Amino acid sequence: MAGPPPIGRAVEPAASMAVAAAGKPRFCRAAVLGLAGLAPVLFFLILMIPLYFMADVRARHSDGGQTMPQGAAGSLVSPLFVLMPLIGMIWMTIFGIVAIVRIRRSRGQLRGLWLAVFDTVLFPAVALVLLLFAS
């Protein structure tokens, strides 16, 4: 007849922590990484667009009402600063899709579906609205 296990060797601490961690759902890392794609877009909107318009106004006032073709306004917005938000938008959409797939396959172990959907839908929706208003 087998008796109870000895008191000192009942449960290993690492095993009990693994069981506790397996039962608690955690936030999906792909959804959080997708949110990082918003940083270059915000950087562009907050810093570069106002600087571009300020340089354009200075160029008009200093040249008697005529704009400078490649002056201060043209050099502020380089291709790098135009590509950064574009890469951020693509980054955010792709990581949002990856996060949705991982959350759906995790069977309740991952949370953050709302953030993954936000990552996925934000910039395509903005592009669709801009396309509708442009036409």
Angle, helices 113-134/79-105, rounded to nearest 10 degrees: 140
pLDDT of the residue at 82: 76
**What pLDDT score does 16 carry?**
41
Backbone angles phi, psi at 27, to 5 degrees: -75, 140
pLDDT in tens, 8-55: 554 444 444 444 455 688 899 999 999 998 888 888 878 777 776 776
Dihedral, 74, 75, 78, 84 alpha carbons, nearest 10:
-100
Residue 40: closest CA among 100, 80, 99, 75: 80
Tokens (6 digits) for 53: 């318009």
Per domain, the residue ranges of the chain are 29-134
The model's pTM is: 0.64
The 10 Å Cβ neighbour count of residue 104 is 11
Residue 104 has pLDDT above 90, yes or no: yes
